[in-house]
Amino acid sequence: MKTQIKQHFASCLCQSVQLSFAEPVNWIAHCHCTMCQKANGAAFVTWLGINKEKFEITKGKSYLSWYQSSADASRAHCKNCGTPMLFTSSRWKDEVHVSRALVDTTLSHPVDCHAFYDTHVNWSTTDPDLPKRGGQSGTEPLNE
C-alpha cells in the first residue's frame, strides 16, 4: 500500500506570495531570539522547519524581499503587504523555515519546544509544559 504524502499550503496576508510543502514537518518551535522579536514585532515567532526539496514558492516569488539579518541568515517578507514569511541560515542549510501562522492547511505536528528561551521577554507568558531551550545554539536544554 502506498502512503499518501500530505501537501500543505501557506500564504501572506495579501495572497501575493503562496507556498507549498510536503510532510513531514521536521519540527515546529516558538523562537524567542532577539532577531525574531525585532523582525516580527512580537514576543516570539513560531517557525516550522521543512526540507528545501519539499518546499516550493508557487506564486509571487518576485514579491519576496530578502534581508540578510546576520552573517549566516536571511529573512523574507512580502513586498506588497509586509508579512514576515521565511528564514534561511547556513546553520540549517538543508531547511527553509516558514512562519507557522501562514499555513492555510491543517498541520498535525505539534509545537516541539521554545527555542532561544533564555532571551524571552518578561511581558508574555508561555506554555509551561513545553521544553525550554537556549544557549549558544538556542536548542540546548535549559534547567529552570
Q: Which residues contact 5 (CB under 8 A, 6 or more apart)?
A: 22, 23
Give the torsion sign (CA, 88, 91, 93, 96). Answer: negative
For position 130, what pLDDT does the model report? 84
List, for the chain, all residue ranges whose pLDDT scores fall below the cut of 50.
Answer: none
Domains of the chain: 7-141 (2.170.150.70)
For position 4, what pLDDT does the model report? 67
Average confidence score pLDDT of the chain: 93
For position 48, what pLDDT does the model report? 97
Enter the pTM of the model.
0.86
Question: What CA–CA distance (Å, rounded) separates 85 from 77?
Answer: 5
Phi, psi of 34 (to 5 degrees): -65, -30
For position 133, what pLDDT does the model report? 87
C-alpha cell at position 52: 528545501
